[in-house]
Amino acid sequence: MLQLFINSSYRFVYCARYYSTNHQLQWSSSRVRQTFIDYFTRHSQIPHINIPSSSVIPPKDAGTYFVNSGMNQFKSIFLSHQDKVSKQCVVNYQKCIRVGGKHNDLSDVGHDTYHHTFFEMLGNWSFNNSYFKREACTMAYDLLTRIYGIEKNRLFFTYFNGENNLIQPDYETKQIWMDLGIDSNRILPFGMKENFWEMSEVGPCGPCTEIHYDHTSQGDPLQVNRDNPRVVELWNLVFMQYERRQDKSLIPLHNCHVDTGMGLERLVAVLNSFESNYDTDLFTPLFDTIHSYCHPSCSIPVYSQANKNQQYAYRLLADHVRMFTIAIGDGLIPEKKGIGGLLKKMIERATRIAYEYLHIDEENVAIISKLIPITTQILSQAYPDLNEKLNRTMEIIKYCEVNYMKKYKLAKPLLEKFIQDKILKSDYFISGDDIYRLYAGKINHVNVPLEMIEDYTRLFPVVKFDWSNFEELMREETRKSKIFSVYNKTIKTNENVSQHPTDKILDLIKQCSSLKQTIDEPYKYQADKSLNAKVQLIIQNNNSKNQLTVFQSIDKNCKYYVLLDQTNFYSTGGGQTFDHGKIQFSNNLIFQVENVFRLHEHILHYGYFLGNENIDDKNVVCCVDMKRRLNLSRNHTTTHLVNRILRELLNDSNLIQKASLIHEDYFIFEYSSINTNANDNIFEELEKRVNETIDLNLPISISSHKYNSIRSDLNIYRLSNELYPSDVRCVNIGESYSRELCCGTHVSSTNEIEDFLIVRVDSKGQSNKRLYCLTGSFAKNVRYLFENDFQKQFHYLKQNHDQISVDELYSQCRKLREIYLDEKSLLFPFNQRSEYLNHWHKLMPDKKILRKYLLNQLNEDSKKNFIHSNVDLPIYDIGYMLLRYDDENNTRKHQPYVIYINFQQRLMIVYLKNPRQRSQLIEKMRNQSEMTMIENFENYDQQTQDLFTTTKKLIVFKPIDKNRFDRMNFQQMCDELF
C-alpha cells in the first residue's frame, strides 16, 4: 500500500487536472485578504503589526478542540499573563476550524451556504487599553463602507442588552454607532447567546457588537440573528473585559482589550454580490475539479445545475477538503480518539458522500486526496508552507479513503438489507440492540460505522432508531470490558504532577503589587552552581481546610509556595519535568523543593520546611538536586537523538514529534509518521543506532538565535504546533548531526547518556506510536534484572513446569507477567518482549484449567457448596473465577452461591446472586463472626477495584482466622440462609 502512495505517477496525477483559481471577480479572495491587512498596518493614527496565523491545533490546555478564532494565540495577553507586550495593536488572518466543542458548525456545513468547518478569520486586536470601543467601531465602519464600498443601508448593528442585572447593557457601543451616523432602527439589542462572546468554557470573554449584512436590501430588522441565509453576520467586535473562571463566575480583567473577527469567505461573497460563500473563488475551482471526477455515465451536472442532494455533496466535499488540508498540514493525523478521531470520521464521511451522492467511479474512488492539490493551490497564496506538505497530506488522506471504502462496500449492503427486511415486515423500529449488533459486527462479522447508521436515519425517516437505548448498551459494554479484561496492572505509573489552585495563587499574587517577575535565565542552565536569591512571597497551602493564606508561621502539616526574585530551578516546560532540591535560609532553615512550576511571569517552588525556626531574613541560597537534573538532561538529549534517527529509519522527513515527556527515570516520545509499516525491527535498529551515537561522544552546544532569522532554515528542527518566542535556543549535537530548537536542559556530550533502552511501545492509531525509553543507570538496571532475575526464574519454570503444581505454576507465571511482561511494564527490554511472551503463554496454565483445579479442591462434605483452599491467588483472579463460576458448560451452574476461603490472605470472597441473601449474609458475618466487609479497594490494583466496586454479586470479608473459624457453624448458617 505504501508503494502506491509514493508512486510518482500517483503523486503528480494532479498535473493532468489543473484548474485555474483566477476566476474573474471584482474582489478576489487574495485582494480582500490583503486589503484588510493593508488598512490596519498603514493606518495613519493606529498602525497595526501584521503577525502570522497560529496552528489550528491548540495547546493542550487551551480548552478547545481546534483553534476556533483569531484570539486563541493571544489568550495569555488578555488574562494579563504577559504584562510586557511589544505588539500592542496587531492584525492578521487566522486559520480557524469549528468542529466539536463550544463553537461547532459541523451540523450546518453543506446544508447551508455560509457555514464552514474551516474558514479564515480576518481580525484586528488592541491589547492593554491601546484602543477600545470607539476606535474599533470607527475603523470597522470606515473599512467596510469607504474601502470595501459596502452600502451602509445594507448593514445592521447589534449590541449587548445585559443579563439579569448581573452584567450591565452595553449602551456605550449603541451610542458610538449612533454617533457614526447609523439610524437607531438599525442598532439592535441582543442577549448573552448572540452578543456576549466566550472562547470556551473558561477564559477571557466580554460583550460584543456584530455587523450584519442584508442581501435582501429590504431592511427588515426582524431577520437579524434568525438564521436567515440572506441576512448574515459579517463582523464581530468583541470587547474583552472579563475572565470566566472554572466556577462560572466572571471577574474583570486587569486591562481591556479588543478582539475582532470577520470571516473571509462571507466577506468575499458580500463584496461580489453573492449570497453563497460557495460562489467565490475559494470554492468554484474545487467544484470544477469534483465534477471532472464524476462518472460520465451517471450524468452528474455541474454544481450550479445539480439537485439539492448533489449540491449538498459538492459543498460538503469542497468544505471538508479545505479543513483536511489545513489540519494535516499543521500536523494532525487521523486516529481513533481526540481531534484526530474527529478528522478520521470526517474523512470517512466525505468519502461516503462522494461515492453515494456523486457516483465517483472506481478509478477515482479516493477523490478527496486528489482534491488536495487544487486546494493547496488556492490556500498557499496565504499559507505557502502547504506546498511542501502537499504529498504527505495526499498520502495520509488516500490511506484513510482506501481503508474506509473496503469497510463501506461490506457495510452498506448489510445495513440496507437489514432496514429493508424490517420494512417488509412492517417493523419500523430499530432498537438499541439492533444498532449495537450492526456497529459491533454481530451480524455477518461486518462492522457498520455509526455515522453511516446516523445518515440512514435521514434516508429512512419512517424508521425510528432508539439511540438512547444504544447509548445505555454502550455504557454497559464499557463497564463489562473493565471487569473482564485481562489483568492489566501498570507496574510503573507516570510521575504525578500536583494540581495546584492557580486561580487562588494568582489572586494572592495580585494583592502584592510590589512583586517582580522571577528571573530564571541563564541561571536554570547553570544548576551546578548555587544561587543567591530573595524571597518575595510565601503562600501557605492548608490542604485540610482547602485554603491558601500568606505565610505567617511554619506549620509542619502544611505545604508552601515560595516565590523568589530569581532561581536556578527548572520549572516544568518544553516536555521536561521540574527540578528537586532545597532552598536554604540564612538561619540554616531548609525548604525542600518537590515541584517547580511557572505561573505566567512568576515561578513557584512548592514543598515543605524541614524545621520550625522563624524566618527573619529574606536572603536564601538555591541548591538544585544535580543527580535528578543529570537524569533529566540525559533523557532530554536522547529525545533529540531518537527524533533524528527515527526520521532516517522510517524514511520520513515529515515525521511529526507529537509530544515528549521527560521524567527523571524514563521519557516518553510520541510521533506520527506516514510510514505505517513500521515493525518491531525498526525499534531494535533504533535502539542500536542511538547507542552507537552515544558511543561517538559527540559534543553538545547551545546557540541563541532570533526566531525570524532561522524560520526558513530546514536544517533546524522545530515543532509544527508550537509558538516560539522571538529569541530561541538551538541544541546542537555534533557539528551538524542534530539541530533542534529547545528550552530544556541537556548533557554536554552524548557519552554522558551512557546507555539507551526501549522498554515499551504503544500504538496510538495507525500512524501514531508512543515510545517509553530509559537511559543511564535506569537502562542498565533493567538489563541487569533481565539477565539475573527474569531469565533465571523463567528458565526454572520452563524446565520444571511438569513438577510444579498448577496453582504454584500459575502464581509464579503471573508474578513474572505482573513485574516484567505486562504490556505497561517499564522493567523489561521491549525488543525481547515478543519472544518471551510467546514462551510465557505456553507456560501459563489456562484459566479454565485453573478453575477446574480449584473446583477439585471442593470440600468432600455432602453439600459440596464452598471452596476451601490454601491456594495463594490474588483477589482479582479469585473474584474473576467466582464471577465466571456459572459460565456455560459448568456442571455446577445451578448453585446459588460459591464461597472461596483463603487463610493465608485471611479473606473470604462470596459470589451470591440474590440481593436479599447478600444483605442477610453481611449482617450475620458482622454479628456472629466479627468480620467486616471490605468496601475500600484503593490499596489494590485498578482491575480489582473495578471488579469489586462495579459488581455487586461479589462480597469480600476480612479478616478470617483459621484457628477461630468454625466451619460447621458457617455451613449451617449458609444452609439456613440459602
Q: What is the CATH number of the domain that holds 607?
A: 2.40.30.130
> Do residues 540 and 644 share a domain?
no
Identify whether residues 489 and 524 lie together within a single domain.
Answer: no
How many whole angstroms separate alpha carbon 259 and alpha carbon 261? Answer: 7
Rounded Cα–Cα distance for residues 798 and 785 (Å): 18
pLDDT at position 1 is 31
Is residue 295 marked as binding? Answer: no
Q: How far apart are CA 749 and CA 637, in angstroms?
A: 9
- Containing structural domain, residue 388: 283-418
In angstroms, the Cα distances linking 145 to 148, 211, 262 are: 6, 12, 15
Q: Name the average pLDDT for the chain.
A: 83
Examine the fold and report which residue of 418, 441, 475 is the final residue of a domain before the chain moves on.
418
Measured CA angle at 792 (ends 787, 795), to 5 deg:
120
Q: Which residue has the cell 449603541?
A: 174
Q: Which residue has the higher pLDDT, 76 or 264?
A: 264
Going from the C-alpha of 90 to that of each of 45, 62, 97, 455, the distances in angstroms are 14, 21, 21, 44
> Quick one: cell of 377?
493551490
Q: How far is it, in rounded angstroms, from Cα 550 to Cα 537?
A: 8
* Residue 683 maps to a domain: yes
Contact 234, 252 (CB under 8 A): no
- Buried (b) or exposed (e) across 168-182, using 16+ Cβ within 10 A? ebbeebbebbeebeb
Report the alpha-carbon distance of residue 507 to residue 244 in Å, rounded. 14
Is the backbone peptide bond immediately before 207 cis, with ω within 30 degrees of 0? no
Mind listing the pLDDT tens digit for each residue in 443-487? 888 888 887 888 787 778 888 999 888 888 887 776 555 443 332
Backbone φ and ψ for 593, nearest 5 degrees, come out as -90, 120
Distance CA 351, CA 97 (A): 20
β-sheet bridge partners, residue 699: 749
Query: pLDDT digit string (tens) for 776-813?
Result: 999 999 999 999 999 999 999 999 988 887 778 887 88
pLDDT value, residue 479:
57
User: In this structure, is residue 362 part of a structural domain?
Assistant: yes
Q: Is the peptide bond before 204 cis (omega within 30 degrees of 0)?
A: no
Reduced to 3 states (helix: H, G, I; strand: E, B; else coil), residue 956 is strand
Compute the average pLDDT of residues 364-379: 91
pLDDT at residue 858, as a whole number: 42
Grid cell, residue 890, equals 459448568
Residue, of 69 and 76, whose pLDDT is higher: 69
Kindly tell me if the per-residue pLDDT of 12 is higher than 60: no
512 annotated binding-site participant: no
| Annotated binding-site residue? 773 | no
For the cut 50, the answer to whether the pLDDT of residue 62 exceeds it is no
Q: Which of 213, 159, 229, 220 is nearest to 187 (CA)?
A: 159
pLDDT at 865 over 50: no
Shared-domain flag, residues 52 and 120 = yes
Written as nine digits, the cell of 570 is 527548572
Q: Is pLDDT larger for residue 900 or for residue 474?
A: 474
In this predicted structure, what is the pLDDT of residue 874? 65
Lowest mean pLDDT among 478-482, 542-546, 823-827: 478-482
Instruction: Judge if 259 and 373 occupy the same domain.
Output: no
Contact at 8 Å (CB) between 173 and 133? yes
Q: Are residues 320 and 268 in the same domain?
A: no
Task: Give 167's pLDDT tier (boundaries 50, 70, 90).
Answer: confident
Q: Averaged over 931-954, what is the pLDDT?
A: 76
Cross-strand pairs, 661: 668
Number of C-beta neighbours around residue 534 at 10 A: 12
Least confident of 225-229, 767-771, 817-821, 863-867: 863-867
Domain boundary among 730, 751, 779: 779
Given this model, what pLDDT does residue 94 score? 93
Co-location of 764 and 711 in the same domain: yes
Residues 548 and 603 grouped into a single domain = yes
Residue predicted with more confidence, 254 or 531: 531
Residues 510, 399 share a domain: no
Contact present, 730 and 612 (Cβ < 8 Å): no
Residue 16 lies in a domain: no
How many secondary structure helices (H) and strands (E) does the chain include?
29, 30
Q: What is the pLDDT of residue 484?
A: 37
Residue indicated by cell numbers 547507542: 691
Q: Packing angle between helix 450-459 and helix 390-424, nearest 10 degrees?
A: 50
Is residue 86 over pLDDT 60? Answer: no
More confident site: 143 or 873: 143
At residue 929 the predicted structure's pLDDT band, cuts being 50, 70 and 90, is confident
Mean pLDDT of 940-953: 73
Buried b (16+ CB within 10 A) or exposed e, 315-336: bbbbbbbbbbbbbbbbbbbbbe
Nearest of 55, 106, 93, 657 to residue 343 by alpha carbon: 106
Count CB neighbours of 758 within 10 A. Answer: 22
Domain end position, chosen among 418, 443, 459: 418
Please report the beta strands in 417-522, taking only residues with DSSP state E, as ranges in sequence order: 429-430, 464-465
φ, ψ (nearest 5 deg) of residue 390: -60, -55
Q: How confident is the model at residue 442 (pLDDT cuts 50, 70, 90)?
A: confident
Most confident range (mean pLDDT) of 317-326, 554-563, 844-853 is 317-326
Same domain, 337 and 366: yes
| Domain membership flag for residue 792 | no
- Same domain, yes or no: 84 and 176: yes
Kindly tell me if the per-residue pLDDT of 177 is higher than 60: yes
Cα gap 675→655, rounded to integer Å: 9
Instruction: Lowest mean pLDDT of 349-358, 733-742, 851-860, name the range.
Output: 851-860
Considering only CA atoms, which of 355, 344, 279, 280 is closest in space to residue 317? 355
Mark residue 535 as left, alpha or beta (left: phi above 0; alpha: psi -120 to 50; beta: remaining): beta
CATH value at residue 93: 3.30.930.10
Whether residue 19 lies inside any domain: the answer is no
CATH number for 642 = 3.30.980.10
Report, as an integer, the average pLDDT of 371-381: 96
User: 359 and 379: one domain?
Assistant: yes
Which helix H or strand E contains 264, and what residues bound it? helix 264-271
Residue 746 marked in a binding site:
yes
My answer on whether 935 and 970 are in the same domain is yes
d(CA 596, CA 579): 7
Condensed to tens digits (0 to 9), the pLDDT of residues 105-163 reads 677 888 888 889 999 999 999 988 889 999 999 999 999 999 999 999 999 999 999 88
Phi/psi of residue 825, nearest 5 degrees: -70, 145
Q: Please, what's the largest Cα pairwise distance for the chain? A: 102
Please report whether residue 843 resides in a domain: no
pLDDT the model gives residue 284: 96
Q: What is the reported pLDDT for 473?
A: 84
Answer whether residue 846 is part of any domain.
no
Question: Domain total for the chain?
Answer: 6
Q: Rounded to an integer, what distance in angstroms lies between the CA atom of residue 893 and that of residue 897? A: 10
Report yes or no on 834 lying in a domain: no
